[in-house]
Structure formats: structure tokens, C-alpha cells
């Protein structure tokens, strides 16, 4: 099944007073990567959540958001820099002696001294929280993938429609191409008649027409186009991570149509080439969003 690279998934899990919520958003990207936004005490669990997501996703940029309610994520403790406090106290005594002042140092005054006392947080492992997080992440990524699959179905239908248009244009070009040489021969014959009158070298006319026919022959381009159409359809039917393969085929389609356009020597062929390039551009826009 073809999948888009854009989607959204969310899930919440509750156990007692503890509730965890996970949101996932994905957009186009050449590779696959996850950018996580977790509460700081949960950073240690980031890799675990990323592995859950990447098991389901093969391409795209995914943003992960986690919120926690009702749970204690970290324990806090005071860390006192005793050597620094000793320096503060020594400085205070020197001030008293130098300037003949006196004062009583209160404990809460010491706690307010810069850099002397700091609050440190340490993440506390919570198996209940970790289990809820993994369950919520698994549910959210499945919802994300479901949305990507639905969008992928729409992308596939649109690509198949444009592919049918290209096949129809190619058949029309194939039928019309021989007329280009015939019309060129008639025009050349008419001009030569005007220039030389009755003394027309029929063999020279045939040679010029043959040279022109060889120069504007598009048989190989049409054959390759049909092969690309078949490969494109097969890849769509196989599904999976098809985006890069389809993107390569779109480039090849564009290359062949450009070559036909450079060989086209008739306004109707040129018009068909313009229509084909327009259809290929629409396919390209859709393919760039396929996983």
C-alpha cells in the first residue's frame, strides 16, 4: 500500500491519577527522523519512544510531543557548596574587623548567597509512567500510519489518473508522428517545385526526407515511455517505501518527453508535449509526498 508522508496521530493513557498524552505530526522529508519534545526529566526515555515510531515509519520527518499530568517526574535536592560558604563567612569576618561592624548571620541569608546553594533535579525511574508512555506512543503511531495510508490511497489514485493521461498522449503522438515526415516531404517538394520548376531531382527529395525522418524519429523515446509507465504502475501496486523509486521514474519520464519536444517539428506534437509535461509535473508534486 502506498502511504503519504504527512499525517497526525495522538493518544492518551491513564492509570490512577497519572495521565500521559502523545502527539505525532509527520511531514515530507528525504530521510526518516524524529524530533522529540519531552519534559526534561524524561529525556532518558527519548530513544525508546523513537524506536517505537521508527518501527512503523520508513520515511518522513516526525515531531513527537509528550505531556504528563498527575505524576512526579523528578526529585529535587539542595546542593551546598561548603567551601564557597566558608569563603563567604571568612570574607564577612574580614569586613567586620576592617570596618568595625558587626552583624548576625542568619541561616536563610546564607541560603540566598549566589552559587552557594543550588537545587538539583534527578529523574526518577517510574515503570508505571514508562509503560503508559510506550502504550500511548504505539497507539499514536498506528493512528498516524492509518492517516498516512488514507492519504496515500488518494495520492495513488491521482497518479494513476495522470498516468492514464500520459499513456493516451503517447498513443496520439505515436499515431501522429509519421504524418510529420509526410507533411515535411510535401512542403519540401512544393518549395523545390517553386525553385527549380520541372527539373526536380526525386532522389534528392527522398534523401532529404529520409534524413529528416531519422532526425525526428521518436520510436525509442516512445518505447522507453511505455516501459516507464509499466514500471510506475507496478511500483504503485507493490506499495511500501516507493517514493524514491517513483521520483526517479518521474525524472526519466520528463527526460523522454523533453527529447520528444526537441524533435517535434509540428504544432500539434508540440501541444501534446506541453500537455504531457503538465501531467508529469502534477505527478511529481504527488510523488514528493509519497513515503
Given a cut of 70, the residues of the chain with pLDDT beneath it are: 71-77, 103-108, 110-111, 119-124, 180-216, 265
Residues 6+ apart with CB under 8 A from 172: 272
> What pLDDT does 234 receive?
95
Tell me the CATH architecture of domain 7-72+125-148.
2-Layer Sandwich (3.30)
Q: What are phi and psi of 269, to 5 degrees?
A: -65, -40
Quote the cell numbers at residue 210. 529520409
**Predicted pLDDT at 90:** 84
Q: Does CATH place domain 152-287 in 1.20.140?
A: yes
* CA atoms in the 13 A half-sphere facing the CB of 108: 0
* Vertex 61: Cα angle to 58 and 66 (nearest 5): 105
State how beta strands 74-80 and 117-123 pair.
antiparallel
Give per-residue pLDDT as tens, 198-213: 555 566 656 655 555 5
Cell of 287: 510523488
How big is the chain, counted in residues? 291
Tell me, what's the pLDDT at 4?
96
pLDDT at 189: 61
Q: Is 14 strand, coil or helix?
A: strand
* Cα 11 to the center of its chain, rounded Å: 23
Spatial contact of 39 and 68, defined as CB atoms under 8 Å apart: yes
Beta-bridge partner residues of 121: 76
Q: Are 110 and 25 contacting, i.e. CB atoms less than 8 angstroms apart?
A: no
Q: What pTM was estimated for this model as a whole?
A: 0.72
DSSP H or E stretch at residue 116: none
Q: What is the pLDDT of residue 135?
A: 96
Closest to 257 measured CA to CA, from 235, 281, 234: 281
Domain ranges of the chain: 7-72+125-148, 74-123, 152-287
Q: What is the pLDDT of residue 89?
A: 81
C-alpha R_g of the chain: 36
**Residue 27 forms beta bridges with which residues?**
61
For 114, 119, 221, 282, the CA distances from 84, given in Å and listed in that order, are 10, 16, 81, 69
Q: In the numeric block, which cell numbers belong to residue 184? A: 515535411
DSSP label at 247? H
Would you tell me the crossing angle of helices 243-263 and 219-238 to the nearest 10 degrees? Answer: 160
Euclidean distance between CA atoms 235 and 247, whole angstroms: 11
In angstroms, the CA 96 to CA 216 distance is 103
Secondary structure letter of residue 17 according to DSSP: T
Amino acid at each position: 500500500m502506498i502511504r503519504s508522508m504527512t499525517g497526525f496521530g495522538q493518544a492518551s493513557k491513564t492509570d490512577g491519577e497519572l495521565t500521559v498524552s502523545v502527539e505525532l505530526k509527520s511531514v515530507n522529508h528525504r530521510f526518516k527522523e524524529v524530533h522529540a519534545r519531552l519534559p526534561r526529566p524524561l529525556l532518558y526515555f527519548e530513544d525508546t519512544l523513537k524506536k517505537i515510531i521508527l518501527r512503523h515509519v520508513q520515511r518522513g520527518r516526525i515531531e513527537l510531543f509528550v505531556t504528563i499530568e498527575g505524576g512526579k517526574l523528578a526529585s529535587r535536592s539542595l546542593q551546598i557548596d561548603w567551601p564557597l560558604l566558608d569563603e563567604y563567612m571568612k570574607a564577612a569576618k574580614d569586613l567586620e574587623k576592617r570596618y568595625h561592624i558587626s552583624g548576625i548571620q542568619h541561616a536563610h541569608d546564607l541560603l540566598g548567597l549566589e552559587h552557594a546553594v543550588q537545587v538539583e533535579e534527578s529523574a526518577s525511574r517510574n515503570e508505571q509512567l514508562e509503560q503508559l508512555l510506550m502504550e500511548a506512543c504505539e497507539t499514536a503511531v498506528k493512528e498516524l500510519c492509518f492517516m498516512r495510508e488514507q492519504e496515500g490511497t488518494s495520492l495513488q489514485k491521482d497518479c494513476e489518473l495522470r498516468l492514464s493521461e500520459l499513456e493516451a498522449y503517447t498513443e496520439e503522438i505515436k499515431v501522429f508522428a509519421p504524418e510529420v515526415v509526410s507533411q515535411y516531404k510535401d512542403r519540401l517538394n512544393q518549395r523545390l517545385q517553386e525553385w527549380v520548376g520541372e527539373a526536380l531531382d526525386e532522389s534528392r527529395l527522398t534523401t532529404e526526407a529520409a534524413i529528416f525522418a531519422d532526425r525526428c524519429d521518436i520510436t525509442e523515446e516512445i518505447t522507453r515511455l511505455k516501459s516507464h509507465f509499466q514500471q510506475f504502475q507496478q511500483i504503485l501496486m507493490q506499495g511500501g517505501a516507493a517514493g524514491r523509486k517513483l521520483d526517479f521514474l518521474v525524472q526519466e519520464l520528463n527526460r523522454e518527453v523533453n527529447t520528444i519536444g526537441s524533435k517535434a517539428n509540428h504544432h500539434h506534437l508540440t501541444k501534446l508535449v506541453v500537455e504531457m509535461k503538465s501531467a508529469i509535473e502534477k505527478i511529481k508534486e504527488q510523488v514528493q509526498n509519497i513515503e
